[in-house]
Amino acid sequence: MRRIQGATIAALAGLILAWGCAGPEGSGPSLSGLTGLVPLPGAAQPAAAIVTKAGAKAVDASRPITPSEEYYIGRAVCARILAKYPLSQDQALTLYVNEVGRTVARKSNRPDPYRGYHFGVLETSEPNAFACPGGIILVTKGLVRKCADEDELAAVLAHEVAHIVNQDGINSISRARWSEVLTTAGAEAARQYGGVAGNLVTLFESSIDDVFKTIVVNGYSRGAEEAADREAISILTRAGYNPAALASLLGRMGSGGGGIMRTHPPTADRLAKVKSQSAAAQPGKMEEVRTKRFKEQKI
């Protein structure tokens, strides 16, 4: 048995070395960003070989986060948010939000994340929306109530989709943290290739903290918000919604306070940019029909 275990460990070590550069879900320089692997900040250049905690092997720590890893991070972030805000059990409203959300998500630059887009409604009057990495988007009843019509709800959801497209939540995880994850994964796999590595769970927890702080507590950077606005306007245009709906909603939001005012602050500068980007917009066809079905929702 000792010989078999030794051989298997050697094989795993080989896998680690082989996958350190390519990753099991794809390889090659084109598999990053929108079509595949998720790059981390500053991860474009080849990383120097680093020594594992076991001190035995050097592995390339430059492997980006894969879509499946992004998915598990997003599930954990979502679970934390749902520990704070209950999920609405209003099936009609959930269906409607999913229909609007999927209509815009399919027009984004990342229409098919690992397990697809899913939309949930949170049972709170606090206006806010959250983009969990990987494709789960949560919007509060309070924010849905702030919307005047379907196009404004589509604008909210398109903006959150844009955060997933741009991997803004995942980018909260520092490069140093991710290097440690890869190092630990390699060391644990080589040492005890069964069960869950305790250090990995701890690092997972820390990574979730990083993302949670960004999307729930502190908010994204101004640059990330503006990029998401630009992407949202493009999505709305491609989907056939009125892209000016984002500016009209932001204009009514005011400023200050908690919730979305803190995580997505609608500053005057931001509003001016959104207005200018959608200045030539014309109301889409059938806007009355969309407004009517929005008003029919019991929010």
Partner 1 sequence: MRSIRGWRTGLGAAALAAALLLGVGLVWAQTLKVSQSNQQFYPEPNFASNPVGPAPVGAHVKVLETKGDWYRVEYQGKKAWLHRQAVPESPVFVPGQVGGGPVKQVKSDEVALAGKGFTAEVESGYRQKNPGLNYAQVDQIEAFRVDPGRLQSFIKEGGLNP
Angle at alpha carbon of residue 116, lines to 181 and 183, rounded to 5°:
10
Q: Is residue 150 close enough to count as binding partner 1 by CB under 8 A? A: yes
Which backbone phi and psi does 207 adopt, to 5 degrees?
-65, -40
Residues 230-249, one symbol each (x = binds partner 1 by CB under 8 A, - = not), give --------xxxx--------
Angstrom distance (rounded) from CA 292 to CA 299: 14
Stretch that binds partner 1, among 155-163, 178-186, 217-225, 226-234 (CB under 8 A): 178-186
Closest approach of partner 1 to the CB of residue 253, in Å: 24
d(CA 221, CA 170): 13
Q: Contact 129/140 with Cβ under 8 angstroms?
A: yes
* Positions 121 through 140 that interact with partner 1 (CB under 8 A): 136
Binds partner 1 (CB under 8 A): choice among 143, 153, 185, 281:
185
Dig out the tokens for 175 from the structure: 């490069």
Q: Is 156 among the residues that bind partner 1 (CB under 8 A)?
A: no
The footprint of partner 1 on residues 55-84 (CB under 8 A) is 65-66, 68-69, 72-73, 75-76, 78-80, 82-83
Q: Which one of 37-45, 159-167, 226-234, 282-290 is the stretch in contact with partner 1 (CB under 8 A)?
A: 282-290
DSSP 239: H
Q: Of 52, 50, 32, 48, which Cα lies nearest the Cα of 40?
A: 32
> Smallest distance, Å, CB 113 to partner 1?
8
Is 8 among the residues that bind partner 1 (CB under 8 A)? yes
